Structure 1
Amino acid sequence: MAAVLYGWGIGHAAVHPYYSAAVRSMGTSWHAFVYGGLDPSGSITVDKIPGALWPQALSVRVFGAHAWAVALPQVVQGVLTVAVLHRTVRSWAGPVAALIAAATLTVTPVAVVLDRHSIPDTLLTLLLVCAAGALHKAVRTGRLLPLLTCALWVGLAFQAKMLQAWLLLPVFAAVYQLAAPGTWVRRARRLALAGAVSFAVSVTWLLLVWATPAAHRPYVDGSTDNSPWSMVFGYNGVSRFGGSQHALGAVAGTAASRTTGNTGWTMLVNHTVGPQIAWFLPLAALAAVTGVLWRAGMPRTDPLRAGFLLWGGWVLLHVLVFSLSSGNHGYYTVVLAPALAALAGGGVAGFWVEYRAGGPRRAALPVALGVTVLWSAVLHAPHRAFAPWLLPTVLMLGLCGVLGLWAAGPRSTRRSVKGALVAGIVATLLAPATWAVASLDPSYAGSAMSPLAGPVGTAYTTMREGGTTAAVGLNQPSARDTALLGYLTAHRGGAKYLLATQAAYSAEPLLRARAQPVLVMGGFTGLTPFPTASGLSALVTSHELRFALLTSKRPATPATAWIKSHCAHVLPRVYGRTSEGNFRLYDCATAR
């Protein structure tokens, strides 16, 4: 089911315009591949560690420059995440819990819409689930190798999305120290060793870039000092939490690189983010609390309680970070999906055991299912015009399931009790599954920049009001870009670069259309101090660069000022346009 949901129609996948431009370049040039170059010449890197883009670039190199080739690794990673979670939960809480967890993750709307995209969070989530599985094994067996494997997975996850991979280290360390066999000194020593392994793997790419002479690698985007450490710990670290905009040598963020919405303590349940991820929050919370409290008298090394601590800590820590950060895209929350799914599976399986055993805890199962169904109604109510049949169906199924379980007595048949349980579980899964399946329709899949499932987000609003969203693909230039590329190619005159652009925003459609060297001035934000005005002048003088494309949508820099004062404006009719819009083309041949 995951393979169908994630892979259906990927021939029309809407890939991220910035990342897919880099992926095409990295799939063309091994130099750009290793260093994460945004263009094939490797003039400047992407503004993140390129680990999550490597599988996509390899796919493009093998299968060609197609949108589906970019999305294919994401589909595989999403399906693997479901499989790894199933295996992990099975060893922790049994086959019933594993099946429920796998189904829950599969139909989580944000997971479905993101696993059909090209954003790094998909690989991050897979690697962290692998790390959690290894930690479960380390706690259960007391062996060192699984703990070091967990550290390895976290280090690889750092290559996918940097510091976010380290968020779970305190949770992993606390659970291991609390629940693993052996003396506390032995456990602490092993954690120290695992921490060293995780750090060493995490900084591998940083050390490679740092040790490579600047003349032999791309400029590091997001930094004022061409340092990978500034890009990771400043631009993608401290500045994300409202710190100094130039912290640790970072470039200041702009509206193009920072989102200011979806923050605060209610972000996970607002009308946009809630339907993406929050369907199972009440069930997960009940499972985590009861899973710990009900096993209070068990030995310290009880693996079932350790699992509830691990998955519950995973959710709690991410809720805190998302709530305190300066802004989040809705799709960031996909990292919560495996933990919520594991808690849902482990919780329902545990509640079912207590239900069959009788006693006061018997009521936990119908209460948990009933609360989850009511919560589904709360999340869907603001959007009840979308799938109007959904709300009454969920409530009716939930009512049948809850009442059937509550009223079941000693004379009730086993089949009727199981039927009520199935009805309750289906009621909890139906609403998120409906939102997830809806995202197969591009009208309900968000935008290329911000994928969201269902009738939410600016892309959905635009299309509902009769507008259209820009299609993003590879080898599919618009008529306007085709005319510009034809003019540049015909008049390039042997220059190294096809042209220079002001920020990645201007370069993206050209890089996706053709894998040609483009000097991306200012990087993603347009504020990165590369190239300098003198460096740009040297490129023009040495005949390595002739044309430059500037835009009014990015801030001016010394390099763009030099172009305006030294280069000739090219009228749009010369290269097949009727108007310039936000762009102006300059010819610097006369500046030589």
Structure 2
Amino acid sequence: MATTPVTQGSTDRRRFRVTGGRQTSPQQPALSRWELQALLLILALAAVLYAWGIGHAGVHPYYGAVVRSMAANWHAFFFGGLDPSGWITLDKIPGALWPQALSVKLFGPYDWAAALPQALEGILAVWLLHRIVRAWAGPLAGLLAALVLTLTPITVALNRHTIPDTLLVLLLVLAAGSLQKAVGSGKLLPLLACGAWVGLAFQAKMLQAWLVLPVFAAVYQLAAPGSRLDRAWRLLAAGATALLVSCSWLLVVWATPPESRPYIDGTTNNNPFTLAFGYNGLSRFGDDPHALGAVAGTTASRTSGNTGWTMLVNDIVGPQISWLLPLTVLALVLGLLWRAGQPRTDGRRAGFLLWGGWLAVHVVVFSTSNGNHGYYTAVLAPALAALTGGGAALFWAEYRAGGKRRRALPAAIGLTALWAVVIDGPHGRFAPWLLPVVLMLGLCGTAGLWSSGPRTTPRALHSALAAGMASVLLAPAVWAASCLDSRYAGSPMSPLAGPVGPGYREMRHHGTKPRPHALNTPSVRDAALLNYLTAHRSGEKYLLATQAAYGAEPLLRATSQPVLVMGGFTGLTPYPAAHHLNTLVSAHELRYVLLTTRRPSTSAVFWVKQNCTRVPPRAYGRIADGSFTLYDCAPGV
């Protein structure tokens, strides 16, 4: 989808030359000195926002435990073992955690080591988006797209945590870049690469990675050179590539004998395809919680908030992602209208279709799903950034060319500045100076651009443009920068920017910050339990067994000792059965079991209560049981 980049004056409207059904365009020039300097400044800004204070990064309690376990054992690394022994997997495909586990294995079990890959993935996504949008719409568009992605609040919040969506975004941006090359060149190899990148994105977030496939296929079929038949068979080849790469890990695990790998969490049949398409697929979006043999999810994994057609503008999600919606929607609509009548292979129109389709399909899916975490919307950021960059560059070119179209630029700036009132209005106590400054800059920029004429000096014109763009970017920049303050960075399980979300509410109402979930640093209570278990361990394979992952997480983050997790993440996965526990205890492989009242009881739990002895809480440093009870299952105790 290589196109003639936006330049100044009437040359901005030049069309592609079409030869033999294929579009041709000049070779993309190397970055000029000013462009390189601007890009380096943007990347440096991204590095600061994503990595400053990374030693205090938000480590997800569950994923942090898995990463520590995967880093301790290559068997657990490949299969995504919840504990180092590889007894049971985590309840996701482990691809997104592989970079984090490698980093922890290389640098040690530290919070910054787990979060470092997230920051690097975010910076790389900014750089790649610049290259892709620059090839599509020119240098100005590329720089603006990179800056918008850098300053998107939810992107900053997510890249400072250990949630898998960061890698999903990077891989989908890579896929979009390959598709752009395939549409522009007509070659098969970039299209196959696009399918491979989508397949790798599946390893990071499973079915969500496939949401872009209909858009990619439609754009290629509509805009790529060649006959319909040629385009169709190439799409089939790319689709087969995406499917094969997507299912590669599933196929390997499925072909591995069950006794040679961990049990697949989230399933009643130990089938990895049930994990991906049942537990993490149909059971989340359909009416059957047991689809394809899945176990029912917990409330935490089946969120019911942030849904419906107003999702993107509610008090929580709106400030994370939606500041530039008026500009991007106007860019999409006018970009397509103004390219009407161009050849089928018009690359500029194909770009608007690509990024507009990416945005639209995710909005529809999120708005009609059962519910979404706020950070899911980070996948919208590349599309919003690309449309902002491409649209603003197009509007500026038309503004310089004159005519009725010149009104689009001041209109987009003015509407976007006014939109900030809708997004920021409910949060007036947070940075109370922000809205007045945004509106003042927006007014100056809109009025200056709208009223300019032949006698307007270039300096006045550029000043008006600068004021307008500052009004567009200031609000998201302030919310993004708020993530550097731990009060506004969201909780480890729900990264959000600004004064929203459960983490901020807990701090505001109780005066305490969210409890940290650090690697290798157990709390006093957990350290006392670990000391007791270690002192009384006499050759057993497992340090202890826990009822669900809830009780195992803090111990697995603190130690690389094997912990047998009964029931997996939810506690409902039917493994191990009661007779398995009996066998392990009889074989002197397991002695202690930690039960909790916060997870459902199973046959294995009932076996423990009937055959094991309760350990007095004071023996392992607690005044009372609380929600946990430790049992000693050693024969004769």
TM-score (norm 2): 0.92
CA distance in 1, matches of 2:305, 2:636: 44
The aligned counterpart of 1:35 is 79
Correspondence for 2:248 among 184, 187, 204: 204
Match of 2:446 in 1: 402
Give the SS at the match of 1:590: coil
| Aligned equivalent of 1:383, options 419, 427, 434 | 427
CA distance in 1, matches of 2:198, 2:483: 30
- Counterpart selection for 1:529 from 574, 583, 595: 574
1:497 aligns with 2:545: no
**Contact 1:80 1:126 (C-alpha < 8 Å) held by counterparts:** yes
In the TM superposition, 1:82-121 aligns within 5 A as 82-121=126-165
- 1:446 aligned to 2:490? yes
- Please give the secondary structure, in 1, of the residue aligned with 2:564: strand
Q: Following TM superposition, by how much is the alpha carbon of 1:521 offset from its aligned partner in structure 2, in angstroms?
A: 0.6
Shift of 1:14: 1.5
Is the aligned partner of 1:538 residue 2:563? no
The answer to whether residue 486 in structure 2 is matched with residue 460 in structure 1 is no
How far, CA to CA, are the matches of 1:434 and 1:17 in structure 2? 28
Encode CA deviations 1:378-417: one digit per residue, 9 max, x unaligned: 1001001100111111111111100000010011011211
Match of 1:366 among 410, 414, 418: 410
- How far apart are the structure 2 equivalents of 1:581 and 1:303? 63
Cα distance between partner residues in 2 of 1:349 and 1:136: 19
Quote the residue 1:290 is aligned against: 334
Does 1:353 pair with 2:435? no
Equivalence map 1:228-267=2 (5 Å): 228-267=272-311
In structure 1, what residue type is equivalent to 2:415? V
What does the per-residue CA deviation read over 1:127-171, in whole Å, with 9 as the maximum and x for residues that have no partner?
Answer: 000000110111111111111111110011011011111110000
1:587 to partner: Cα distance: 0.5
d(CA) in 2 for partners of 1:121 and 1:588? Answer: 41
Partner residue of 1:513 out of 553, 558, 562: 558
Using the alignment, how far apart are the partners of 1:168 and 1:559 within structure 2?
43
State the distance in 1 between where 2:286 and 2:636 align: 42
Deviations 1:476-498 (A, max 9, x none): 10111011001111112111100
RMSD, matched Cα:
0.9
Match of 1:74 among 105, 118, 125: 118
The 5-angstrom pairing of residues 123-202 of structure 1 reads 123-202=167-246
Contact 1:541/1:591 (CA < 8 Å) preserved in 2? no
Per-residue deviation at 1:203? 0.6
Distance 1:513 1:358 in 2: 65
CA contact (8 A) 2:449 2:465 kept: yes
Quick one: which of 37, 43, 50 aligns to 1:6?
50
Return 5+ residue gaps in structure 1 as ranges.
none
State the shift of 1:591 in Å. 6.8
Distance 1:298 1:128 in 2: 28
Structure 2 spans left out of the alignment, 5+ residues: 1-44
Q: 1:205 Cα deviation (Å)?
A: 0.5
- State whether residues 74 and 122 of structure 1, in contact with CA within 8 Å, keep that contact through their aligned partners in structure 2: yes
Q: Which residue of 2 is the match for residue 474 of structure 1?
A: 519
Separation (CA, whole Å) in 2 of partners of 1:80 and 1:533: 48
Q: Which moved more, 1:10-19 or 1:462-471?
A: 462-471
Residue 316 of structure 1 aligns with which residue? 360
Percent identity over paired residues? 68
Q: Distance in 2 between matches of 1:436 and 1:221?
A: 36
Structure 1 distance, partners of 2:605, 2:271, is 23
Tell me, yes or no, if structure 1 residue 550 matches structure 2 residue 595: yes
Runs of 4+ in 1 over 6 A off after TM superposition: none
Give distance in 2, aligned partners of 1:226 and 1:319. Answer: 33
Tell whether the 8 Å contact from 2:285 to 2:370 is kept in structure 1 after alignment: yes
Query: Are 2:621 and 1:576 equivalent residues in the alignment?
Result: yes
SS at 2:72 equivalent: coil
Q: Are 2:487 and 2:513, in contact at CA under 8 Å, matched by a contact in 1?
A: no
Instruction: State whether residues 241 and 324 of structure 1, in contact with CA within 8 Å, keep that contact through their aligned partners in structure 2.
Output: no
Report the alpha carbon displacement of residue 222 of structure 1 after superposing the two structures with TM.
0.6
Q: Check whether the contact 1:257–1:524 (CA below 8 A) recurs between aligned residues.
A: no
Shift of 1:357: 1.1
* Contact 2:130–2:145, Cα closer than 8 Å, also in 1: yes
Match of 1:519, SS?
strand
In 2: Cα distance, 1:396 partner to 1:256 partner: 42
Select the residue among 328, 344, 348 that pairs with 2:372.
Answer: 328
Aligned counterparts of 2:300 and 2:354: Cα–Cα separation in 1: 35
Separation in structure 1 between the aligned mates of residue 561 and residue 125 of structure 2, nearest angstrom: 35
Residues 567-590 of structure 1 deviation map (CA, whole Å, 9 limit, x = unaligned): 101110111111221100000013
Counterpart among 384, 392, 395 of residue 436 in structure 2: 392
CA contact (8 A) 1:92 1:307 kept: yes
Partner of 1:586: 631
Determine the C-alpha separation between the residues in 2 that align with 1:252 and 1:554.
13
Residue 19 of structure 2 corresponds to none
Separation of aligned partners in 2, 1:418 and 1:298: 31
Number of positions where the alignment pairs a residue of Structure 1 with one of Structure 2: 592
Aligned counterparts of 1:243 and 1:287: Cα–Cα separation in 2: 38
* 1:484 alignment partner AA: L
Q: Secondary structure at the match of 2:168?
A: helix
The answer to whether the 8 A contact 2:544-2:593 is kept is: yes
Letter in 1 for 2:65: A
- Shift in Å, 1:422: 1.2
**Normalising to structure 1: TM-score of the pair?**
0.99
Shift of 1:468: 3.4
**Is this contact kept in 2: 1:566–1:591, CA < 8 A?**
no
Aligned partner letter, 2:518:
G
